[in-house]
Structure 1
């Protein structure tokens, strides 16, 4: 067994065992939140919803990339769309209000010809028009950001039907994934960039980097590409199984397929929509690929528990961390945007960014670790500043958006910004843990049904 020394921790490369459903993970499905838990989760979700509902501009109504940003992120729009049914079901908006907003967003995105290439949307679009933005820091038709947008369209399609479904169907039909497939490897590239950033209809170049690791972002990209309603636009199902599955473990904790950095969103973004809890371990050998079978819900639970343990161990170095204060993921930081690295990971390093904690990380992990995540939510909600006021909580009943994006006690830092792709997974993940609503809507969509069939996935024995 190969041991890799990183800092003071030893991460072991594992000889690729299958990752199969454990009894502990089976028990997660039967977890019941207390009445007090439900009230707190209502408040957390309401804060997320208020951001996704109000940080918009007419007539497009696409949500801001972040509160201080002049542009919208289509990835955040995917979460925004999926949050609308939650808002309706929880009585925060009416069904008519939700349907009107969803239709306005989809119409705005589809009504332009300068915001996509081969049906794959720009990472950033204009707030008011949903078209090409001249203020965005990059102009890239992005496969991952489109892979976060389309699940939102699929969710509202199933919830509202009618014209919303027609627009979502158009969006799915137009996404030509095969145009973004690298012919040599069969893998999907990261995007397409125009030679002239002011002209999406001119010449351009496909990104040389490919989606090739088996983690959350890649799972969404290939799920959508394989489930395309247009055969000529679809990716080969085998490509999903060709993604690199590298298994490692921390100490005597259970092994799992690791991501590049180990940042926590790599283990929950896909689960915001794909109900891996309902699916058995996949089987690469069905496609002639020699790789371990993986139950991806089990894998993420192991990853989250290991991540939490690493944070607890690092509390000796960083005072923000503790048994109930943990969770490192991409977030706003005191020195700019931060993407922490927490081993075990493929990059073989730790980058703690001073021990910064992003509350949405532990909260979004609630799908896998309801008990540990609820304890973290309660603890972080109760943190006080030197004057006895909430440290990182801004009351939605008073116009706040709930948890701050991040905080660091060593630096005396609390973010005063909010990020769409951090608010988004938190509301969706909590809803899935409570009711499974987003899982049901997404998985019943024909595109998901096609992906399940083409990937030869089967129902979990305990579902």
Structure 2
């Protein structure tokens, strides 16, 4: 009987996912249940956006890697900026313009500063490092041998920059000039170099240590966007075999797919979670890459991302480890701050540490609108005194451990602003998917999408 119920639940989920996908493609402006809900939604976007505006490092204009409102830092790193989180930040600036948190002119000036920094800061075969000193543009090693190009983080930056290019390319003289500068940066990234002469993309290359980090990127995880951009590059593109043999591992990406509670995923998530990975895997690559109707021979990506979010929701509702507070209005795990440092939280007995990360549910608004709204309301109206600060919800918390810290991370704040806007209007999805190179690259890899003309 249990197997029959689980199978029925899986069928219902597939049907609901297909209906939601069709509705999402037809909708340009999402209606809210009430004016109060709409106001809260905007307030969360506005406050979180300020991380990338008032909270930015002043010399570069880029997002700081982290910000601790209690001024307790693991190191003196208020000047450290991040390429990946900064890429999320430039997308957030576009949201700020559209939502009138700032003027178009203010946004343009800040983006000109950021692009100026990117043009002169350290690059390695066109790719940026994970971290820089925002005051000097010099690389700050992420670890001893991670002191060169980081192609994954650079891809997150490029995803954002291409949205900016599309947003301004038909504008006035200054806006067109910015779009042209971004286009030049995009064309200078040597994706083909980062294959290391193999049919796979490598995460890192160092001028001091070469390929010693030895991290060929294989799926499934957060890095799909890197392969899409590598195939899309008009100057340093890679062959389809790099995607199919490297990322998809000649089809092994479909072997032993993950799943939980009647939801069967299509892909195997790298790691030992067995159910699915941390939720940022359904956010980072999809800030610009629209999963609605996106398919290739390995997956239906709308089904995959919505299923992934639903697994996190159901895990919290079932609460197998009996943590305090878990439930339908308090859910979502990702890689974030944790009770002891930083951890990759995920729905498994090993990786569920009793820590909820607001970015997980909030950035899943396109996939789980009702469930995400319930969590947002609970946190804002019932727990605001413990969870809310000048840049919106704090990075993570644990009711079980009575652990609440006023700490923020760029890579977690950015997806909140962007994915909430994608749910609301599809802004960043429409911008990124309008790139002709991206449409060509996706077609080259065998993808189909309603955006591809």
Residue 432 of structure 2 corresponds to which residue in structure 1? 442
Is it true that 1:130 corresponds to 2:127 in the alignment? no
Equivalent residues in 2 for 1:67-216 (5 A)?
67-68=67-68, 69-70=77-78, 71-112=80-121, 115-133=122-140, 138-161=146-169, 162-184=176-198, 186-195=199-208, 204-205=210-211, 207-215=213-221
Instruction: Give, in angstroms, the shift of residue 447 of structure 1.
Output: 2.9
Is it true that 1:403 corresponds to 2:393 in the alignment? yes
Residue 59 of structure 2 corresponds to which residue in structure 1? 59
Taking structure 1 as the reference length, what is the TM-score of the superposition? Answer: 0.82
Residue 291 of structure 2 corresponds to which residue in structure 1? 276
Residue 360 of structure 2 corresponds to which residue in structure 1? 361
Between 452-461 and 47-56, report the one with greater CA deviation.
452-461
Residue 199 of structure 1 corresponds to which residue in structure 2? none
The alignment partner of 2:164 has SS state of helix
Residue 18 of structure 2 corresponds to which residue in structure 1? 22
Taking structure 2 as the reference length, what is the TM-score of the superposition? Answer: 0.84
Residues 57 and 81 in structure 2, CA contact (< 8 A), matched pair in contact too: no
Q: Would the alpha carbon gap of residues 206 and 163 (structure 1) be closer, same or farther in structure 2, given more than 3 Å must change?
A: farther
Residue 6 of structure 1 corresponds to which residue in structure 2? none
Residue 266 of structure 1 corresponds to which residue in structure 2? 281
User: What is the CA RMSD across the aligned residues, in angstroms?
Assistant: 2.6
Distance 1:364 1:94 in 2: 24
Residues 261 and 314 in structure 2, CA contact (< 8 A), matched pair in contact too: no
Residues 147 and 221 in structure 1, CA contact (< 8 A), matched pair in contact too: yes
Instruction: Give, in angstroms, the shift of residue 136 of structure 1.
Output: 7.5
Post-superposition Cα deviations, 1:122-150, rounded to whole Å, max 9, x if no partner, equal 10011223332379875231111001110
Is it true that 1:234 corresponds to 2:228 in the alignment? no
Unaligned runs of 5+ in 1: 1-9, 196-202, 284-292, 344-348, 395-399
Distance 1:100 1:266 in 2: 32
Residue 42 of structure 1 corresponds to which residue in structure 2? 42
Distance 1:55 1:211 in 2: 32
Greater relative contact order structure (CA < 8 Å, 6+ sep):
1
Unaligned runs of 5+ in 2: 1-5, 69-76, 170-175, 272-276
The alignment partner of 1:450 has SS state of helix
The alignment partner of 1:282 has SS state of coil
Residue 383 of structure 1 corresponds to which residue in structure 2? 382
Residue 4 of structure 1 corresponds to which residue in structure 2? none
Distance 1:369 1:134 in 2: 37
Between 268-277 and 334-343, report the one with greater CA deviation.
334-343
Residue 417 of structure 1 corresponds to which residue in structure 2? 407
Instruction: Give, in angstroms, the shift of residue 158 of structure 1.
Output: 1.1
Between 174-183 and 245-254, report the one with greater CA deviation.
245-254
The alignment partner of 2:304 has SS state of helix
Counterpart of 1:328 (choices 329, 333, 345) is 333
Distance 2:378 2:427 in 1: 26
